[in-house]
Structure 1
Amino acid sequence: MTVRCPSCGRHDQWPQPELGCGCGAVLRIPVRPAPTLPARGTEPAGSVPGASALSPADEGPGGPGGHRAPRSPLRSGSPHSRDAQASPEGASPDGRGSPGTTASCTPPARPPFRPLTIRTARDAVTAAALYLKWLGFRDIFQSPEHPASGIDLRARGLVAQVDPRTEPSTLRDVECLWLHGLNASAVSVFFSLTGYAPEARARAEDLGLPLFVMDLTGTPQPANRAADELIGTGA
């Protein structure tokens, strides 16, 4: 179908392979959960096994059983924006659980991480590669120095950028990395030696993009919740 992008006004056929527009807007398709089937033998007399009743909200313009068009499927920003969810009983608002409760993700058993001292920009990339391997990613490929794409490390299901500059990484840096990960259907991970601008941190939080800060000892430290979760679950 033809959809107008609300950000740049472009009219084009959707979905495209990347489900996105050149301006950065992406297509988010609403998904309705499948109806729960009644247990065998519990259907009312005269009913069709597996059939479920439609509420008035489910009835489209064509009457019962019709399909209602989704509202504004084209959204600007991240398709990974998290809806508000109720915290499980006993969990704290930050999702890490309260004392006496069991964490939802048990960190996998790993040997202690052995960092690489950082003396050059290339050392920073190598240290990040070692850390990702420690997390469980395999066959990590290092791009040539200063790649035009900004992607320093690649693996199956992974793209990573390492920023060795002396100023904080920017909002544009975070968004460009996220778009590369979206295009490759991969996890995006950012490493910075200096940290992140406040707007870059906020955007990474919205996108669920893990941020790490590295010191000169070569030991990455998580800088947001997504990074904590990646450490907990591994690759």
Structure 2
Amino acid sequence: MEAMTADGVLVRCPVCRHEQAYAPPAFPCVCGAPVVPPVTHGAAIPLTHRTRADAWVTVRCGACGRAADWPRPELGCACGTVLRVPVAQDGAAPAPRAAFRPLPVRDARDAVTTAALFLRWLGYEDVRDAGPDEERPPSGTRLTALGVVAQVEPTVRHASLRDVECAWLTAMTRSATCVCFALCDFTPLARARADELKVALFRIDLSGTPEPLNAAADELTATGA
């Protein structure tokens, strides 16, 4: 995930989780004004290969309004990964969402409520518990909304590989995004499988703040529904 700093944006590598500040370069418009690509709060993406088409981004000059193609911003991480930093097209950065307002978690029900509130904050407005006619999860609580299936483990039990895979299979049958929340944590096998399946994992701390644990969670937090 990225956040604004005095030096630009804070970029987190989804591979090693290292964070570093990034300031995009300025390019000279033909009118003489500097043009700075408007990097956004979206998650950085590991660059595995380049093509001629996606090596450039169109940015509009704020002084004269002229649009031109400039090199797409990239950043090297210490782990060796090359990161592509998202840029708002046509020079118009998206308005950021208001900050998530957490509620303290005192029991299992509070953890489920926090997951529901967070999903609504992401943009899934019709969040509800899975109905009696829907497939029940092997443990924990299942939340659903248009476009998303969420598994919540609201106890001190570590969410398991089976929890992640069952939630993912349900999401696939609905062509929906899969998200998993845990009050405690996820087992190593669950984390590894979630990365393979691109399932977003969040750990809910006692302050009521879901913490993204993998690249899919970083991206979902940044972009929303």
The TM-score normalised by the length of structure 2 is 0.58
**What whole-Å deviation, never above 9, does each CA across 1:94-117 have from its counterpart, x for those lacking one?**
5644xxxx4257675111211121
Question: Counterpart of 2:106 in structure 1: which amino acid?
Answer: R
| Structure 2 residue 192 is matched with structure 1 residue 202 | yes
State the partner residue of 2:100.
113
Q: How does 1:1-235 map to 2 (within 5 A)?
A: 85-86=48-49, 90-92=74-76, 94=81, 96-97=83-84, 102-104=85-87, 108-143=95-130, 149-150=136-137, 152-235=142-225
Over 3 Å counting, the alpha-carbon distance change for 1:95 and 1:123 in structure 2 is: farther
Question: Counterpart of 2:164 in structure 1: which amino acid?
Answer: V
- Distance (Å, rounded) in 2 between the aligned partners of 1:129 and 1:107: 24
Q: Is the 8 A contact 1:108 1:232 kept in 2?
A: no
**What whole-Å deviation, never above 9, does each CA across 1:190-234 have from its counterpart, x for those lacking one?**
000111111111110000000000011110000000000101111
Over 3 Å counting, the alpha-carbon distance change for 1:230 and 1:173 in structure 2 is: same
- Distance (Å, rounded) in 2 between the aligned partners of 1:217 and 1:108: 26
Tell me by how many angstroms 1:167 deviates: 2.5
Q: Which runs of 5+ in 2 are unaligned?
A: 1-46, 56-71
- Distance (Å, rounded) in 2 between the aligned partners of 1:194 and 1:211: 12
Over 3 Å counting, the alpha-carbon distance change for 1:158 and 1:86 in structure 2 is: same
Question: Counterpart of 1:136 in structure 2: which amino acid?
Answer: G
Over 3 Å counting, the alpha-carbon distance change for 1:187 and 1:164 in structure 2 is: same
- Distance (Å, rounded) in 1 between the aligned partners of 2:96 and 2:221: 11
- Distance (Å, rounded) in 2 between the aligned partners of 1:111 and 1:139: 19
- Distance (Å, rounded) in 2 between the aligned partners of 1:231 and 1:183: 23
Q: Which runs of 5+ in 1 are unaligned?
A: 1-83
For the pair shown, the structure with the greater C-alpha radius of gyration is 1
What secondary structure, in the 3-state scheme, does the structure 2 residue paired with 1:115 have?
coil
Number of aligned residue pairs: 147
What secondary structure, in the 3-state scheme, does the structure 1 residue paired with 2:157 have?
coil
Give the number of the structure whose residues are more often strand, by fraction. Answer: 2
- Distance (Å, rounded) in 2 between the aligned partners of 1:134 and 1:203: 26
